[in-house]
Structure 1
Amino acid sequence: MIYEGVLSKMQTEFQDPIQYYLVLDQSFLHINQMLGKTLEFEHTGYQCLNCGKKKKIFRQGFCYDCFMGSPAAGDWIMRPELSTAHLDIEDRDLDYEKRVQLQPHIVYLALSSEVKVGVTRKTQVPTRWIDQGAVQALPIVEVPNRYLAGITEVALKNYFADKTNWQKMLKNEVAWVDLFQEREKIASVLPEEVRPYFHPEAQDLYELHYPVLNYPSKVTSLNLEKTKQYSGKLIGVKGQYLLFEDQTVFNVRTYEGYEVRITIA
């Protein structure tokens, strides 16, 4: 069977194991059902996820112009401590920024390789942790806006990583620790304005299991710019990565906005 369309990050369902769906223009693939099958990817073009024009992708599925101008690609996306909508100050589009920034956000600890701290909108729980390939996640605080979440993350970066070691995550090399015990250590280092939102007795630990037949012992990333066509047997899905039998891994999210033809044998 042949499927064609523009890549965007896989949609997920929080089940045991996580269910993955690759949504294309006219169809979708239930990726869990593809395990053990041979998938061939062919890079055929580009289409910006923002403007829809067939322009080369710069970052995050956007062409250069959209990445530099869209409010969905502002610096506060990656650095939430730069959020200013709570002060009624515009970055690129204040209405958009208020809609996204002025809603409940979660600061969390997660285990994907080692313990990391992160921020997500409450509406993105547990999707954010699935996308990172976390095997456990524990909310620390729920705050009313992105700025408060951002300054909390900055304070905790002195004690925890803020990025996932993607190679260890894909090889399932997880440094198992007790997230409840880690949470107990942070009360004194939280920003003063965030402490009223800290509830150390909460027991809302999330556990996540992924559809993986075998974890690779080493990983080699598929680069669609250098390798226009690739074929491999799918043996797993974790985070936003497809894992293949030859130890090639493909980060779907990296190639958002890329037009592809997928052939399933």
Structure 2
Amino acid sequence: MTFEGVLTKMETEFSQPIQYYLVFESDFINMNQLLGKNITIQFIRYQCLNCGLDKPIYRQGFCKSCFYEIPQAADWIMRPELSTAHLDEEDRDLEYEKKVQLQPHIVYLANSSNVKVGVTRKSQVPTRWIDQGAHEAIEIVEVPNRYLAGITEVALKDHVSDKTNWRSMLKNDIKDVDLVQWRERLKQYIPEEAKDYFIESNTETNLEFPVIKYPDKPKSLNLIKEQTFTGKLEGIKGQYLIFDDETVFNVRANEGLVVAITIN
């Protein structure tokens, strides 16, 4: 059986374990059901997630011209402290920026390879943690806009990492930590503008991923270079597919590629 479509990040369902779905225009695949099976992934062409043209993907699933023009790829996406919609100031498209920036945001701690701080819209909890491959996470601050979340993250980055080591995450080389203690330890560094939004009492969320076997030395698949790959699916964590030969494929990093997926 073969499915064909443009890659976007896998949809997820919070359960024990996490359920993963690869969604194409006219089909979807429950990836959990493919664990232990051989699958082939074949690169067909590009399809920019904005303009739809067959142009090389530059970043985030967009071709280069779209990446530098559309609001979905503006700098404030990756650097929320640059948000300006709360000041009624436009970056690329004020209507879009108000829609995204002027809604509740969460500053959180997640433990995937190490404890890290991050920002996400409240509506994206726990999806954001799942996408990062975190096995535990906790909210620290809930603020009314993206700017306040951004300046809080910047302040906390001096005291805790904001990066995930993807190799350690995929090897499951992790330690359980007390995120409540981390939250209390970092409270003093929250900026004055956000102090009133500190979450005084909550517990951490634990996540379980559908993995038969973790790789010892994960190696990343470059599908554009290889064109086609076949392997037995051994697990899914974050947005990565894990295969029996320790090859891993980052679905999110390959958004905008049109692929054929064959279940052998």
Above 0.5 in TM-score?
yes
The answer for the alignment partner of 2:127 in structure 1 is 127
Answer whether contact 2:142 2:199 (CA < 8 A) is retained.
no
Structure 2 residue 97 is the aligned partner of structure 1 residue 97: yes
Provide the aligned length of Structure 1 versus Structure 2.
Answer: 264
The answer for the alignment partner of 1:226 in structure 2 is 225
The answer for the alignment partner of 1:189 in structure 2 is 189
Comparing 112-121 with 44-53, greater Cα deviation is found at 44-53
1:147-174 deviation digits (Å, cap 9, x = unpaired)? 0000000000011110110000000011
Structure 2 residue 257 is the aligned partner of structure 1 residue 258: yes
Answer whether contact 1:115 1:175 (CA < 8 A) is retained.
no
The alignment's C-alpha RMSD in Å is 0.7
AA of the residue aligned to 1:69: E
**Secondary structure in 1 matching 2:113:** coil
AA of the residue aligned to 2:67: F
Provide TM-score, normalisation by structure 1: 0.98
Offset of 1:15 from its aligned partner?
A: 0.5
Give me the whole-angstrom Cα distance separating, in 1, the residues matched to 2:25 and 2:244. 28
1:170-192 deviation digits (Å, cap 9, x = unpaired)? 00011321101111111211100
**Secondary structure in 2 matching 1:226:** helix
Answer whether contact 1:105 1:119 (CA < 8 A) is retained.
yes
AA of the residue aligned to 1:257: G
AA of the residue aligned to 1:162: D
Give me the whole-angstrom Cα distance separating, in 2, the residues matched to 1:249 and 1:209. 18
Give me the whole-angstrom Cα distance separating, in 2, the residues matched to 1:153 and 1:64. 28
Give me the whole-angstrom Cα distance separating, in 2, the residues matched to 1:90 and 1:10. 31
Give me the whole-angstrom Cα distance separating, in 2, the residues matched to 1:242 and 1:199. 34
**Secondary structure in 1 matching 2:194:** helix
Answer whether contact 1:114 1:176 (CA < 8 A) is retained.
no
Answer whether contact 1:109 1:116 (CA < 8 A) is retained.
yes
Offset of 1:204 from its aligned partner?
A: 3.4
Answer whether contact 1:143 1:194 (CA < 8 A) is retained.
yes
Structure 2 residue 248 is the aligned partner of structure 1 residue 249: yes
Answer whether contact 2:105 2:146 (CA < 8 A) is retained.
yes
The answer for the alignment partner of 2:207 in structure 1 is 208
Give me the whole-angstrom Cα distance separating, in 2, the residues matched to 1:20 and 1:145. 29
The answer for the alignment partner of 1:160 in structure 2 is 160
Q: Map residues 18-57 of structure 1 onto 2, 5 A cutoff.
A: 18-57=18-57
The answer for the alignment partner of 1:80 in structure 2 is 80
Give me the whole-angstrom Cα distance separating, in 2, the residues matched to 1:238 and 1:140. 24
Offset of 1:199 from its aligned partner?
A: 2.5
Unaligned runs of 5+ residues in structure 2 are none
Give me the whole-angstrom Cα distance separating, in 2, the residues matched to 1:115 and 1:199. 18
- The runs of at least 4 consecutive aligned structure 1 residues that moved more than 2 Å come to none
Give me the whole-angstrom Cα distance separating, in 1, the residues matched to 2:145 and 2:26. 37
**Secondary structure in 2 matching 1:199:** coil
Offset of 1:25 from its aligned partner?
A: 2.3
Give me the whole-angstrom Cα distance separating, in 2, the residues matched to 1:189 and 1:250. 37
Offset of 1:51 from its aligned partner?
A: 1.2
Identical aligned pairs, as a percentage? 64
Answer whether contact 1:83 1:147 (CA < 8 A) is retained.
yes
1:6-42 deviation digits (Å, cap 9, x = unpaired)? 1000000000000000011221110000000001011
**Secondary structure in 2 matching 1:173:** coil
